[in-house]
Structure 1
Amino acid sequence: MSWQHWIRQSHRWLSIVFTLTVLANFAARAMAPGEPSAWISYSPLPPLFLMLFSGLYLFALPYVCKWRSRGPA
């Protein structure tokens, strides 16, 4: 399995984890009286930061491949 495939798959799974943590955050805010604890509020951030890095890589990948295929100037 290539790195591109592995990063693309992990980006997809991270998006599912991120969506579930955001939904859990909304549910905790709706059901709990008062303010929920900090770990519930900040739980979407780790998958979001990982998705930032993998998304930037996936965004730049076609441009880098095109730049490399041009060859030396």
Structure 2
Amino acid sequence: MSAWIRQGHRWFSILFTLTVIANFAVRPFGEAPDWLTYSPLPPLFLLLFSGLYMFALPYTAKGRMSKMGA
């Protein structure tokens, strides 16, 4: 499961980067449509949750290891 989340996090970051680039690419031609303006938000929230999971993973693994050793 952890490998899937790690791989998903990488793909979410690529998707987020592309949506931000698209926003900046459209700006010189006028105001961007709302759907394009807000398109970076879903990948950003997915990055937040997957990043928090990966951040907490070593701490929860330490807790599991200490319970096994006791």
Alignment of 1:43 onto 2:39 = yes
Count of residue pairs the alignment pairs up: 69
Q: Which stretches of structure 1, 4 residues or more, deviate above 2 A after TM superposition?
A: none
Q: Which has the higher helix share?
A: 2
TM score, norm. by length of structure 2 = 0.92
Distance of 1:57 and 1:28 partners within structure 2: 33
Distance of 2:18 and 2:52 partners within structure 1: 22
| Pairs within 5 Å for 1:24-63 | 24-30=22-28, 32-33=29-30, 35-63=31-59
**Alignment gaps of 5+ in structure 1:** none
**Alignment gaps of 5+ in structure 2:** none
* Aligned-CA RMSD value: 1.3
Alignment of 1:17 onto 2:22 = no
Cα drift, residue 13 of structure 1: 0.5
Deviation digits for residues 25-49 of structure 1 (CA, Å, limit 9, x no counterpart)? 000112x22x211111000000000
